[in-house]
Amino acid sequence: MIPQLALGALGAAALFYVAVSRRPGPFRVARSATIAAPAEVVFAQLEDFRAWRAWSPWEDLDPDLRRTYGGPASGAGATYHWTGNRQVGEGNMEITESEPPRRLALRIAFIKPIATSNDIEFTLTPAAGATDAVTVTWTMTGDRNFMMKAFSLVMDMDTVVGRDFEKGLARLKAVSEASRATG
């Protein structure tokens, strides 16, 4: 009886391994929003990690989130390290390219709960038919490791991360438009 159970468990593990291994590695998640504010106002919110506290969709998940900033205050070389509860985990970001006010590229490395790294890009383009408005596209690309492939069996990355991006873009819109109104 025990040999059959062991053989069955081994077979199930092999099937699981094959199913996970065949999952696609590369992924891309992107969301866009139009913001009624000049590109310079919006870009200022993006290139300064300290400003992310006002609009990032993850900032309110842990009231005791610990943050460390390094490098220049904004632009290429600026870094942000966070450590938080199970919802936010631990990781760091670094701005790798800054082309004000059109494009910002970041490298994000998650340490906990699952070690992985991805590329983030914000692109700002003039909004069609609008003066002093910009369309912001937030994109994350990467390659799923084995653990992320396993999670993709039950969790759709585009849905989960996309929902966070939509929340963040809505907050970025509110902060940028309010800044424009008062600034």
Q: What is the pLDDT along the chain (183 residues), one digit of tens a residue?
A: 677 766 666 666 566 556 555 565 677 889 999 999 999 999 999 999 999 999 999 988 999 999 999 999 999 999 999 999 999 999 999 999 999 999 999 999 999 988 889 999 999 999 887 778 999 999 999 877 666 656 655 567 778 789 999 999 999 999 999 987 665
Q: Give residue 3's pLDDT.
A: 73
Q: Give residue 140's pLDDT.
A: 94
Q: Give residue 25's pLDDT.
A: 61
DSSP-based three-state secondary structure for 149: helix
Strand partners, 82: 67, 91
CA separation (Å) from 94 to 67, 97, 101, 175, 176? 13, 9, 18, 22, 22
Q: Give residue 179's pLDDT.
A: 83
CA 58 to centroid of chain Cα atoms: 9
Domains of the chain: 25-182 (3.30.530.20)
Residue 49: Cβ within 10 Å count: 24
User: How far apart are the C-alpha atoms of 132 and 101, rounded to whole Å?
Assistant: 13
Q: Give residue 31's pLDDT.
A: 98
User: How far apart are the C-alpha atoms of 58 and 56, rounded to whole Å?
Assistant: 5
Label residues 171-181 b or e (16+ Cβ within 10 Å = b): bbbebbbebbe
3-state DSSP of 23-69: CCCEEEEEEEEEECCCHHHHHHHHHCHHHHHHCCCCHHHCCCCEEEE
Cβ atoms of residues 29 and 163 within 8 Å:
no
Q: Give residue 148's pLDDT.
A: 67
Nearest to 27 by CA among 155, 158, 169, 167: 158
Nearest to 100 by CA among 39, 29, 33: 39
